[in-house]
Amino acid sequence: MKYKNNRIGSAVLACGTLVGMLLLSATARADDIPPLEERLQLCAGCHNPDGNSVIPGNPKLSGLDAKYIARQLSDFKEGKRVSEVMASIIPMVDEKEFKPLAAYFSKQKRTDGVPEKADLVAAGKQIFDEGVIGTAAPACAGCHNEDGSGSNKFPRLSGQDPTYVKAQMLNFKNAVRNNDPKAVMQAVAKRLNEQEIEAVAEYIVTLKEAE
């Protein structure tokens, strides 16, 4: 799959998909839930069929905890997590589909990523493993694990797209993303400046799942 490597690309795609799906859903009855394979085609446009998106700004969904995915989907639906793109998609998806979609993506294997600015990786590793003592920013590794593999409490970060990670960190910092039930990521992000956020995002994309 080849898309233009920018956010406009995904926005154009979003609009296209949106119009198409709205037409479809207008004719479909409310309780008409499509089979999972059919629904996955909608997600695949932006997140790839195996959840390993290749478009900067779009997150990889592969290997994320199923409960985490399902919670994000219902937060998008209820407007608790703000994203223009996902807000245009989620009205087409019924709540009953969240669990099977989440289960599907959680079982996909996360692919490796490539940093955009390799010179920032070392500084990013320092922040990820040790935190920032001066501002008392805790080490990311403490919660998300040293290899970024995460757990049922903390989402997987390894190999995640740096543009997405940067945007999310800024969203946490500015309280735009404030649906974290433990409310800890806002506290973490507020203690990092933009340079530190960029560096840590460049390190995160290099993290690989241990075999």
Binding segment (CB under 6 A) for ligand HEC, from list 29-37, 109-117, 134-142: 134-142
Cβ proximity to another protein, 33 vs 139, nearer residue: 139
**Among ligand HEC, another protein, none, residue 133 binds (CB under 5-8 Å by kind):** another protein
Q: Is 17 in the site for ligand HEC (CB under 6 A)?
A: yes
Q: Is 132 in the site for another protein (CB under 8 A)?
A: no
Q: Is 123 in the site for ligand HEC (CB under 6 A)?
A: no
Cβ proximity to ligand HEC, 118 vs 129, nearer residue: 129
Looking at residue 70, its amino acid is A
Binding segment (CB under 6 A) for ligand HEC, from list 26-34, 112-120, 154-162: 154-162
Residue 138 and residue 186 in contact, taking contact as beta carbons nearer than 8 Å:
no
| φ, ψ for residue 106, nearest 5 deg | -65, -25
- Report the distance separating Cα 64 and Cα 74, nearest Å: 16
Q: What does each C-alpha distance from 56 to 6, 7, 40, 155, 176 come to in angstroms? A: 6, 7, 20, 19, 20
**Among ligand HEC, another protein, none, residue 151 binds (CB under 5-8 Å by kind):** another protein
**Among another protein, ligand HEC, none, residue 17 binds (CB under 5-8 Å by kind):** ligand HEC
> What token pair was written down for 155?
């989402």
Residue 78's contacts (CB-CB under 8 Å, 6 or more residues apart) are: none
Q: Which of residues 52-91 bind another protein (CB under 8 A)?
A: none
Binding mask 44-73 for ligand HEC (x = CB under 6 A): -xxx---------xxx-x--x---xx--xx
For 63-78, give one letter per residue: b (16+ CB within 10 A) or e: bbbbebbbbbbebbbe
Looking at residue 129, its amino acid is D
> What token pair was written down for 202?
């460049």
Q: Is 107 in the site for ligand HEC (CB under 6 A)?
A: no
Q: How many Å is the Cα radius of gyration of the chain?
A: 17
Binding segment (CB under 8 A) for another protein, from list 32-40, 47-55, 98-106, 181-189: 181-189
Cβ proximity to another protein, 42 vs 188, nearer residue: 188
Tell whether the torsion through CA atoms of 32, 36, 37 and 43 is positive or negative: positive
